[in-house]
């Protein structure tokens, strides 16, 4: 989620606030801050799950008995530990029995469902959906954002295309790609998306 505010919150022309921790409570945050624009950034579920898997999401979950809540040492990164969620209630035992792909798919679907539901409630700010595959290396989309934000400083086409070189997850080494997933993992992926977040194909980038 990204909020954009063009009022007296800084010395700069625009203030952008972006955080994965906005995923729950988007409507309340928007009501409180009243931003000019709200952006729902979303990446396709397969690429997202592949990326989270590579980063170690829920990697050590099976080392814990009677697992009840996230712990700092469940992933290799303490920072990422605070980004994870787990289900509560009766679904927890079923979730623990899922493959890592299934657990990560549930994470992706649950986060985006929360944002999606809150997005429909927002009426006071301009709302934009941004699919990563639509805007990635797309200079015309960048120019549209420049227009929306009324930016004075702009990247030329060459410099814009160089931005991807700085992406921390650009390389695909050691990534567990969808084509390598087991039939069980693919079924969990499909079933969970169908139950929690079957909206991805209906979302269109609207800039």
Residue 11 has pLDDT above 70, yes or no: no
Task: Tell me how far apart the alpha carbons of residues 181 and 193 are, in angstroms, rounded to a whole number.
Answer: 16
- Residue 58: closest CA among 66, 168, 49, 90: 49
Q: Is 145:55 a contact under the CB 8 Å cutoff?
A: no
Q: Is the pTM of this model over 0.75?
A: yes
Q: For the chain, list the strands marked E by DSSP.
A: 2-5, 15-18, 37-42, 126-131
Q: Is 189:103 a contact under the CB 8 Å cutoff?
A: no
| Structure tokens given for 87 | 């289900």
The per-residue DSSP string of 133-156 comes to HHHTT-HHHHHHHHHHHT-SS---
Write down the pLDDT at residue 122.
94
Supply the angle between the helices 183-196 and 100-119 in degrees, to the nearest 10: 20
For 142-164, write each residue's pLDDT tens digit: 999 899 888 888 899 999 998 87
Write down the pLDDT at residue 67.
59
| Structure tokens given for 88 | 């509560």
Task: Tell me how far apart the alpha carbons of residues 18 and 125 are, in angstroms, rounded to a whole number.
Answer: 16
**118 vs 172, higher pLDDT:** 118
Residues whose CB falls within 8 Å of the CB of residue 112, separated by 6 or more in sequence, listed in order: 42, 197, 200
Residues whose CB falls within 8 Å of the CB of residue 168, separated by 6 or more in sequence, listed in order: none
Q: Which residue has the tokens 């990164």?
A: 77
Residue spans per domain, the chain: 2-202
**110 vs 164, higher pLDDT:** 110
Residue 24 has pLDDT above 60, yes or no: yes
> Mean of the per-residue pLDDT values for the chain?
84
């Amino acid at each position: 989620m990204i909020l954009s505010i063009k009022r007296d919150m800084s010395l700069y022309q625009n203030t952008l606030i972006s955080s994965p921790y906005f995923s729950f409570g988007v409507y309340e945050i928007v009501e409180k801050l009243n931003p000019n624009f709200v952006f729902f950034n979303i990446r396709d579920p397969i690429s997202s799950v592949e990326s989270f898997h590579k980063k170690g999401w829920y990697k050590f979950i099976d080392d814990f008995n009677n697992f009840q809540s996230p712990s700092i040492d469940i992933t290799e990164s303490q920072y990422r530990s605070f980004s994870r969620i787990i289900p509560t209630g009766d679904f927890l035992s079923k979730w623990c029995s899922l493959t890592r792909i299934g657990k990560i798919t549930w994470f992706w679907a649950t986060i985006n469902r929360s944002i999606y539901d809150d997005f429909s409630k927002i009426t006071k700010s301009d709302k934009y959906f941004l699919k990563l595959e639509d805007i990635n290396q797309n200079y015309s989309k960048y120019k549209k954002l420049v227009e929306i934000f009324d930016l004075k400083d702009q990247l030329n086409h060459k410099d814009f295309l160089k931005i991807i070189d700085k992406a921390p997850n650009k390389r695909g080494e050691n990534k567990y790609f969808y084509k390598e997933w087991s039939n069980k993992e693919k079924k969990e992926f499909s079933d969970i998306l169908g139950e929690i977040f079957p909206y991805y194909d209906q979302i269109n980038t609207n800039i």
